[in-house]
């Protein structure tokens, strides 16, 4: 066997391989001999079929299997010997002319092919003990607790029926029954009876609640809306739909009194217990935000400490995923690049940089995880699926089925779990210093500040 490297440019390599016909013939012959005791042919006793006869019947298919196995084994040996980690699937170029293929399958000519690959660069990891990051810390104040309870009260306000003849307005609660259709045909999950909708809360797909404004009690109206292009159910995504909707009750919100009775209506013993629960929730919220700030700072340090060429194919793939998502989001919200004070060309350039950073950080995190045997368990992934399902009340089965039948979606859940575990590993080694900050400072948008600067 002869291996010649024909291309060596950065992360791109190409090899030309020649395997003598005699080697292929020997391997195919061994396969045929192995078949003697397994093949049953009329006229021959078990194990007594001549190899020459087997070759006449199965020779071409056995040679095809031999060639396929030889290519895989040879490529694997080439990559292993050179310490290559592939960034994607190798691109193999084989003879295509009918005469060449026939001679190859007949064992009359050598196997000559080329394999082109793109590799992951060698990554020299930084000394994480030298890292120093600042952790913003916020104490939960009484004012924060009072504001949180006020928001809860606004979401638990009592409603009373509007006067006869009154029309629905933003903020009103409307009880509706509806039947949805696409191109005149009903679709699964498109109907509902006595469903309460607070106009303006975004419970339904974009445009649905706005269409309810002006409807009266007992009135039937056809709502014309469209499902977002990134809607979870692919069969409905991007589809225009009509909902024949009847309003059976329109209610106006009142004011909730914040007292012990209000707390009891939420399942708590007293207002003090409600305040305790609100403080705990805010503390968890602040802790989560602090964690995100620390993680962002750590990823910035990883980015600064690991400069190398990212595999172009992986960057292109990441960019395509991001760009398609951005375009779908803009289409669903009817926004343009001008609305974002930019152009499509400038946006593409910016997202190209983000894609490059994501790929490099992904490779660095993967390298850290691999060298330190960090893994994600199936239980951890399962809990993530359950959490996603909880976020979509009434559609739990739909969410569960989606992830159960979609390996790529599961991988997207697994990735952030893995990333967080690697981040935790680094933080154990790094120096983390706490700094007291205000709530506004904790939640400020650093990216927006950088853009403004």
pLDDT tens sequence across 145-201: 999 999 999 878 888 999 889 999 999 999 999 999 999 999 988 999 999 999 998
DSSP at 85: -
Task: Give the pLDDT of residue 43.
Answer: 67
Residue 32: both structure tokens together? 């045929």
pTM strictly above 0.75: no
Q: Residue 442 — pLDDT band, cuts 50, 70, 90?
A: very high
pLDDT digits (tens, 9 = 90+) for 281-331: 999 999 999 999 999 999 999 999 999 999 999 999 999 999 998 988 888
Confidence bin at 75 (pLDDT 50/70/90): very high
Residues contacting 82, CB < 8 A, separation 6+: none
**Dist. CA 145–CA 141, nearest whole Å:** 7
Q: How far, in Å, CA of 78 to CA of 94, rounded? A: 17
DSSP string, 248-298: EEEEEE-----SHHHHHHTT-SSHHHHHHHHHHHHHHHHHHHHHHHHHHHH
Q: What percent of the chain has pLDDT over 70?
A: 96
Residues 233-275 have pLDDT tens digits of: 888 888 999 999 999 999 998 888 899 999 998 899 999 999 9
- Kindly calculate the radius of gyration of the chain based on its CA atoms and give it in whole angstroms: 32
- Rounded to the nearest 5 degrees, what angle is found at the Cα of 152, between the Cα atoms of 290 and 189? 95
Does the pLDDT of residue 452 top 60, yes or no?
Answer: no
Give me the pLDDT at residue 446, please.
54
Query: Quick check: 157 and 253 in contact, CB under 8 A?
Result: yes
Q: Dihedral sign for Cα 310, 312, 318, 324, please.
A: positive
pLDDT at 450: 37
**What DSSP element (H or E) covers 211?**
helix 208-212
From residue 306, give the alpha-carbon distance in Å to each of 346, 357, 364, 430, 451.
26, 10, 8, 16, 24
Task: Give the pLDDT score at 161.
Answer: 93
Lowest mean pLDDT among 140-154, 303-317, 382-396, 413-427: 382-396
What token pair was written down for 280? 């705990």
Question: What are 133-157's pLDDT values in tens digits?
Answer: 999 999 999 999 999 999 999 878 8
pLDDT for 448: 41
Distance of alpha carbon 71 from alpha carbon 368, whole angstroms: 32
Give CA–CA dist 86/96, Å, rounded. 26
The whole-chain average pLDDT of the chain stands at 90
Whether residue 9 has pLDDT greater than 50 = yes
For residue range 11-53, what is the model confidence (pLDDT) as tens digits?
Answer: 999 999 999 999 999 999 898 888 776 677 766 766 667 778 7
pLDDT in tens, 348-379: 999 999 999 999 999 999 999 999 999 999 99
Asked whether 442 and 138 are in contact (CB, 8 A), the reply is yes
């Amino acid at each position: 066997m002869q291996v010649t490297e024909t291309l060596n440019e950065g992360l791109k390599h190409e090899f030309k391989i020649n395997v003598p016909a005699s080697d292929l013939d020997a391997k195919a012959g061994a396969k045929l001999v192995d078949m003697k005791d397994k093949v049953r042919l009329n006229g021959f006793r078990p194990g007594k079929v001549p190899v020459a006869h087997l070759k006449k019947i199965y020779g071409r298919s056995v040679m095809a299997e031999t060639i396929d196995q030889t290519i895989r084994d040879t490529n694997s040996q080439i990559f292993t010997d050179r310490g290559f980690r592939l960034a994607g699937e190798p691109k193999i170029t084989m003879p295509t002319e009918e005469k060449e293929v026939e001679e190859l399958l007949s064992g009359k000519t050598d196997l000559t092919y080329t394999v082109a690959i793109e590799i992951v660069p060698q990554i020299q990891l930084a000394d994480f003990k030298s890292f120093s990051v600042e952790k913003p810390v916020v104490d939960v104040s009484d004012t924060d607790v009072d504001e949180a309870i006020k928001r809860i009260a606004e979401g638990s306000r009592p409603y009373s029926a509007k006067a006869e003849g009154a029309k629905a307005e933003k903020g009103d609660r409307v009880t509706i029954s509806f039947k949805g259709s696409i191109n005149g045909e009903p679709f699964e999950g498109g109907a509902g009876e006595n469903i309460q909708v607070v106009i303006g809360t975004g419970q339904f797909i974009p445009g649905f609640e706005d269409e309810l404004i002006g409807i009266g009690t007992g009135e039937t109206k056809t709502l014309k809306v469209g499902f977002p292009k990134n809607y979870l159910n692919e069969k409905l995504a991007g589809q225009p739909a009509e909902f024949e909707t009847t309003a059976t009750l329109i209610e106006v919100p009142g004011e909730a009194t914040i007292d012990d009775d209000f707390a009891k209506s939420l399942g708590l013993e007293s207002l003090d217990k409600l305040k305790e629960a609100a403080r705990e929730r805010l503390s968890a919220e602040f802790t989560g935000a602090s964690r995100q700030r620390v993680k962002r700072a750590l990823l910035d340090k990883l980015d600064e400490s690991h400069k190398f060429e990212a595999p172009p194919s992986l960057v292109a793939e990441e960019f395509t995923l991001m760009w398609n998502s951005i375009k779908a989001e803009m289409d669903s919200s009817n926004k343009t690049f001008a609305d974002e004070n930019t152009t499509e060309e400038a946006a593409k350039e910016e997202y190209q940089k983000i894609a490059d950073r994501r790929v490099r950080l992904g490779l660095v995190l993967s390298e850290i995880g691999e060298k330190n045997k960090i893994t994600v368990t199936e239980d951890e992934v399962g809990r993530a699926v359950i959490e996603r399902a909880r976020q979509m009340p009434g559609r739990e089965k739909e969410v569960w089925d989606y992830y159960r039948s979609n390996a790529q979606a599961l991988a997207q859940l697994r990735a952030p779990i893995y990333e967080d575990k690697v981040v935790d590993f680094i933080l154990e080694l790094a120096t983390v210093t706490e700094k007291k900050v205000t709530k506004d400072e904790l939640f400020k948008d650093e990216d927006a500040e950088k853009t403004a600067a």
